[in-house]
Amino acid sequence: MKNKFIIIMIFIIAFILRFWQLGVNPPSLDWDEASLGYNAYSILKTGRDEYGIFLPLSIRSFNDYKPPLYTYLSILPVKVFGLTEFSTRFISALFGLLGVILTYYLVKEIFKKMSAKYYLLVTFFLSLSPWHLQFSRVAFEANVALTLFIGGVLFFVKGLTKGIYLSLSLFLFGLSMYTYHSTRLVVPFLILGAVIIFYKEMRQKKLWLILSGILLSVIILPIILSFASSTSARFGSVTILNPSERLGQSIKDIEADQDKKDFLGKLMHNRRLVFGREILADYLDHFNFDFLFLTGDFAARHHAVGFGMLYIWELPFILIGAYFLLNTLDKRKVLIVWWFLIAPLASALTKATPHAVRALLYLPTYQIFTALGVLSSIKLVRTKFGFSAVMVFAFGIFIINFYYYLHQYYIHTPIAHAQDWQYGYKEAVDTVSKIEDKYNKVIVTYKYDQPYIYFLFYQKIDPVWYQNQWTGLEIKRDERNFGKFEFRNIDWSNDVNLKNVLFVATPYEIPEEVGGVVKQIYFPDGSIAFNIIER
């Protein structure tokens, strides 16, 4: 009864941390979130995405071709709550909570010989995890993919005793591949490793494994068929194997030094060396101390200001827990180790590592190590030191670190990182919407990228009307003008002679002496985000 009360309280805490001020903090929708929300709205109203594609298997968005599941799942909250920041982020928060719940049952299934305290600790640590909270509170498809991935692992382990769960496992793994690109690489490795680890058990469940494999093949067949277009387009835009990126430059340097007579042989050899070194270096990047415990990755949207992906207090317990796990290995624990090792594979093949989103599949392995480390340390403290004093000290460090995280996330991050969240677009759209009828044209700067999606989102532009603008036309990334709206960078030397036009500009695009300022939109730190100027 006591454990049930504790787990309910953990779930309540997890719910509050994921849903409280969900539409307010982060301080603005970024362009990917706005795209997911509007495309859900468009499919709700018309059955088609913003480009007029009927029930698409890939959301073209900004030509980055997002997997579609998050968009489809968002249709219901958009229907219920309207097209808002809250409804757009609702699915991520919900799946973040489900991920915490599934983790409890996963750990209970894998670590059957451990006490209930261990299951509760892992669940509690995940519920408070900065990494998990960050992506449970934004409309990032990776968080939904993580929850489906956790469910896939859970039901695979349960399928070792009851074969029907294997079908549910591979069904969830298949769905995760419609949610985020990283799972399309990590899931096959996870399944392959799991089948090898549990080879004997799989032989006894051969029929269920075959049926489940057929089910998975049917589910992912559209992904395989679309690889030549949407999936490969996304991979080509982010992979280090793209010859236009830094790897390509390394190869060019190698080419310049080859002797002509054996150029081809040496080139191919060196290509493999360069590829291998780049991938290994990017893989190891994900164990970077700063990334994990101090500053997070390069993108301000991926972590609280001045905070890593994990709590600093977790470090010694992660090391102790990993040591304990490796010294008490059985097949189920080997699965956790395999999970941990392959989690950053997809990220290691892409640019800009370490990458918190693409490596999100690490969770909850770090919390599994941490909880093992905590319990092992408690046993040591009980026998070697003054238990009460040490525990009070350790609990104090935990509380301070957690409070500091909340302070950074809710107080400082909305100010320091507002610009990274494209703050100001909502306010700009609101201002323009009230006065746009007075002008022949509204020109919106492209300096902050993808401004059109915010006008679609906040003005709730009729999807039927918008889709008709593009019938039979090929849309380029920066050509989405519609109605009286024109989205481009402002060149004042050419635009100075325009009349009866409203400009939405950065503070550096139009000289101050021009005047005509209708309104200035400010970032929370007091700097100017937009000048809205009439001519």
- pLDDT of 243 reads 45
- pLDDT of 455 reads 97
Buried (b) or exposed (e) across 12-42, using 16+ Cβ within 10 A? Answer: eebbebbbeebbebbbbbbbbbbbbbbbbbb
Reduced to 3 states, what is the DSSP secondary structure of residue 300? helix
Question: Across-strand partners of 517?
Answer: 533
Are 4 and 58 a contacting pair, CB within 8 Å? no
For the chain, give me the number of helices (H) and strands (E)?
26, 5
- pLDDT of 99 reads 98
499 Cβ neighbours under 8 A, 6+ residues apart: 440, 535
239 Cβ neighbours under 8 A, 6+ residues apart: 245, 349, 350, 351
Alpha-carbon distance of 182 to 143, in angstroms, equals 11
| 410 secondary structure, DSSP code | I
Where are the chain's structural domains?
2-238+286-415, 424-534
Would you call 522 exposed, middle or buried from its count of C-beta atoms within 10 A (0-12, 13-18, 19+)?
middle
Alpha-carbon distance of 423 to 529, in angstroms, equals 8
Task: Give, for all 535 residues of the chain, the pLDDT tens digit.
Answer: 788 999 999 999 999 999 999 999 999 999 999 999 999 999 999 999 999 999 999 999 998 899 999 999 999 999 999 999 999 999 999 999 999 999 999 999 999 989 999 999 999 999 999 999 999 999 999 999 999 999 999 999 999 999 999 999 999 999 999 999 999 999 999 999 999 999 999 999 889 988 988 988 988 888 888 765 555 555 455 555 554 444 444 444 444 444 544 555 554 555 555 567 788 889 999 999 999 999 999 999 999 999 999 999 999 999 999 999 999 999 999 999 999 999 999 999 887 889 999 999 999 999 999 999 999 988 887 766 666 776 777 888 999 999 999 999 999 999 999 999 999 999 999 999 999 999 999 999 999 889 999 999 999 999 999 998 876 556 655 568 999 999 999 999 999 999 999 999 999 999 988 989 999 999 999 999 999 999 9
Closest CA to 309 of 284, 287, 340: 287
Closest CA to 118 of 194, 7, 5: 7
